[in-house]
Amino acid sequence: MKIEEIKLEDLQPQKFIEEKVKEISSVAGDGLVINALSGGVDSSTVTMLGHRALGDRLKTYFIENGIMRRGEPQMVVSLFKKLGVSVEMVDAKNEFFNALKGLTGPEQKREAITQVFYKDVFGRLVKESGVKYLLQGSNYTDVEETVAGVKRQHNILEQLGIDTQQQYGYKVIEPIIQLRKPAVREVAKTLGLPEQIYNRPPFPGPALAARIIGEVTQKRVEVVRAATKIVEEELSDTGAFQYMAILHQDKVTGVRDGKRDYGLQIELRCWESKDAVTGSPTRLSYEALEKLAERITTEVPGVVSVTYNVTKKPPSTIEAV
């Protein structure tokens, strides 16, 4: 299937919403549809589109995969409750960590997350509820990067020739597949989502696992989660496109209280970008960088080194994995 991009300048958000609501209703018929909400702008937008189209016939889940940011599951569920959308939390932490055990290759980890998400967790939800469709927020950039072979984006299936009906037992509906992020933000705003959502920096489907080089264990997720909290507190006012903390696999020699401390390395990235296709590092002030290094090495146990990445995309990518 050839997907045609709807460019931001050609987008008529209200018309787009009306068309997609109609499309979702007609595909779903009088059946139930499920979707997973992560709280990012993409999944929030399709949740609202689906909710408009189907009301209570859309069952929305938050998959607690153990690799989200601190407080995120509770924040997303309560925010959507205020918008009239009830979200059920599914605890799948053990499934994700078991699948990630021992894996170190980036594409291996991405593949494992995709399988647990689509085959195990959704496969089960679909079987239990008898639904035929999964509504999801894959966007145009996800398709482009996956098809070009840059990175296997977790939510790209059909475009890789995967027959979801045959492999997982359900079909997918992808209402925003023709839009890039800035266009999705316009639709989100027009749908009445709060600014906290429509202007939210992107966050990858594989969550903090995209920011851990090497094996993803609960302990290593804790390190990157604590560093992420600090980075978000310190950089949210910059207006940058995305900012993140990455945990390296190699340890380095440090010194603490006059003694050798063989510890962890955190790499910081902060990006200027329009649509994540290309990007350049934000010219953060030296004071901001020093404060980040100070906070991370004192507040995150085990970290002895903090670096800032000054590489553009390309050749870097935005996330490390």
User: In the complex, what is the shortest distance from the CB of residue 144 to ligand XMP, in angstroms, rounded to a whole number?
Assistant: 10
276 backbone φψ class: left, alpha, beta (φ>0; ψ -120 to 50): left
Q: Indicate whether 144 belongs to the interface with ligand XMP (CB under 6 A).
A: no
In the region spanning residues 165 to 194, those forming contacts with ligand XMP, defined by CB under 6 A, are none
Residue in 11, 99, 210, 240 binding ligand XMP, rule: CB under 6 A: 210
CB of 274 to ligand XMP, least distance (A): 11
Q: Which residue has the tokens 């906070």?
A: 295
For residue 40, give the nearest of 91, 7, 76, 8 by alpha carbon: 76
Of 106 and 304, nearer to ligand XMP (C-beta) is 106
Nearer to ligand XMP by Cβ, of 35 and 297: the residue is 35
What's the distance, Cα to Cα, between the start and end of the chain in Å? 28
As measured in angstroms, the least distance from the Cβ of 22 to ligand XMP is 25
Residue 276 is a binding residue for ligand XMP (CB under 6 A): yes
Contacts (Cβ under 8 Å, ≥6 apart) of 35: 43, 46, 47, 50, 58, 59, 60, 61, 134, 135, 136
Q: Which is nearer to ligand XMP, 129 or 196 (CB)?
A: 196
Residue 321 to residues 151, 215, 221, 300, 311: CA-CA distances in angstroms?
8, 11, 14, 21, 15
| 155 interacts with ligand XMP by CB under 6 A | yes
Alpha carbons 277 and 254: distance in angstroms, whole number: 36
DSSP 245-273: EEE-SS-EEEEETTEEEEEEEEEEEEEE-
Residues 296-315 that bind ligand XMP (CB under 6 A): 313
For position 200 contacting ligand XMP by CB under 6 A, the verdict is no
- Give the contact letters, 50-79, x = binds to ligand XMP (CB under 6 A), - = no: ------------------------------
What residue ranges bind ligand XMP (CB under 6 A)? 142, 145, 150-151, 153-155, 202, 204-206, 210, 242, 276, 313, 317-319
